[in-house]
Amino acid sequence: MYQCYDGFFDGGVPCGTFIKSISTDALNYWERSFFQRCRSIIEFNGLPEAAPGQIGWDYDAFMYQLFRMGYAVVFNTKKYGMVVQPGYPSGYGLQYQPRAMTISTQFFQFNRPLEIGTECGVIKLTPDYRGIWDIITKYAVEMQHAEVAIRQSALNARFAYGAFAKDDKQKKSLEAMFQRLANGEPAIILNPDLKRPIDGKTGEGGTYELPIMQIDRDLSKNFILPELMEFRRTILMDFYRELGIKVQPDKKERMNVNESESADAETFNRREVWRICLEKSLDEVNKMYGLNITFKINEPKQDTEGSEDNARLLRNTGE
């Protein structure tokens, strides 16, 4: 694949290969996938740019910090200008809320915490100073289990055989035979020493068999691959609902507007909490430092029966 680029862009942090460790690679794959899906639902604009001799905000690092930690600490510096850094809540207010942020990074080591509201601001995604990585991890683990089950079911969909070997030489011959069969060779030549007489007669008039047995002759009872694929899709839909993304329930027929609105209610609350936290915290940070950081929540279009989008779609298709 992409042979013209071969060898030029193979550095950096490699992705999983799904060869040595399906289980570990599947977990890493879905953790990465779910984070990118999370990131796509919220888009920020107006992040501080670099002034002469200073450093602007890196969008990717800011997004990762916000989803991983649930908040980002903002303060002004003489050397770097307006910066965003990881910090940790400190102190207690009258309602036991954090009053300050402890900043200890390779760039900043303050001898005391910075007071929230006067010395620093906090952009918050969640109200409890925690990220949403628990959501990502939960569904990544569920997908990991589903992927392993799907791979195992796909392997079990083939006829399974066992073999008996009386010595190491026969063992190697049988292993080579199974390997060639698994590679799809239509015909193979066997070692004649593998055959054994059935009726005790040897020679041309005897009947022979190989020391091979079929483990399971009725694969239809154990073939659950379609159910597992649907199970994986259900996990993905549950993840979207957890994020507040509108997804329709599993129905064969098209949903009408009322049914769609009822289904949307299942996905509303958590996303609304994030929206409220971002709006209030950004308003405070923007006023405190004269910034204009804004955000929007991306929503996929819905084509439900009776909607204007669906009506335009029907008109365009001539129905």
Instruction: Note the pLDDT tens digit of each residue in 178-224.
Output: 777 777 777 777 667 666 666 655 556 556 666 665 555 565 666 77
User: How high is the pLDDT of residue 37?
Assistant: 92
Q: Same domain, yes or no, for 172 and 309?
A: no
pLDDT value for 290: 94
Give percent above pLDDT 90 in the chain.
Answer: 39
Place of tokens 């996905």: 267
Q: Which two tokens stand for residue 241?
A: 């609902």
- Looking at the structure, do residues 231 and 126 belong to the same domain, yes or no? yes
pLDDT of the residue at 256? 56
Considering the domain architecture, whether residues 189 and 283 belong to the same structural domain is answered as no
Which pLDDT score, from 0 to 100, does residue 21 have? 65
d(CA 127, CA 141): 25
> In this structure, are 48 and 139 located in the same domain?
yes
Q: Which of 94, 70, 73 is nearest to 82 (CA)?
A: 73
The answer to the question of residue 31 being in a domain is yes
- Specify the higher pLDDT residue, 234 or 212: 234
**Confidence tier at 49 by pLDDT (50, 70, 90):** confident
Domain count, the chain: 2
Domain-ending residue, one of 214, 231, 255? 214
Co-location of 184 and 141 in the same domain? no
Residue 172 forms part of a structural domain? yes
pLDDT digits (tens, 9 = 90+) for 131-147: 999 999 999 999 999 99
Q: Are 16 and 28 in contact (CB under 8 A)?
A: yes
Shared-domain flag, residues 171 and 39: no
Given 214, 247, 279, which residue is the final one in a domain?
214
253 and 127 both lie in a single domain: yes
More confidently predicted of 43 and 216 = 43
E strand or H helix that includes residue 276: helix 268-289
Structure tokens belonging to residue 259: 């049914």
**67-84: pLDDT as tens digits:** 999 999 999 998 888 999
Q: Are residues 229 and 284 in the same domain?
A: yes
Residue 303, domain member (yes or no):
yes
Same domain, 61 and 179: no
**What was the pLDDT predicted at 222?**
66
**pLDDT at position 23, please?**
80
Range of the domain at 202: 161-214
- Residue 117 domain-assigned (yes or no): yes
Between 37-51, 93-107, 162-176, the lowest mean confidence (pLDDT) is in 162-176
Q: Note whether 188 and 232 are same-domain residues.
A: no
Q: Looking at 173, 199, 214, which one is the last position of a domain? A: 214
pLDDT of residue 79: 87
Is residue 272 a part of any domain in this protein? yes
pLDDT of residue 311: 45
Does residue 3 sit within a domain?
no
Residue 2: inside a domain: no
Which one is predicted more confidently, 131 or 51? 131
* Residue 109 within any structural domain of the chain: yes
In eight-state DSSP terms, residue 101 is: E
- Return the pLDDT at 74: 96
CATH number at residue 48: 2.40.500.10
Say if residues 125 and 66 touch (Cβ distance below 8 Å): yes
29 and 59 share one domain: yes
Question: How far apart, in whole angstroms, are the C-alpha atoms of residue 168 and residue 259?
Answer: 66
pTM: 0.72
185 & 261 share domain:
no
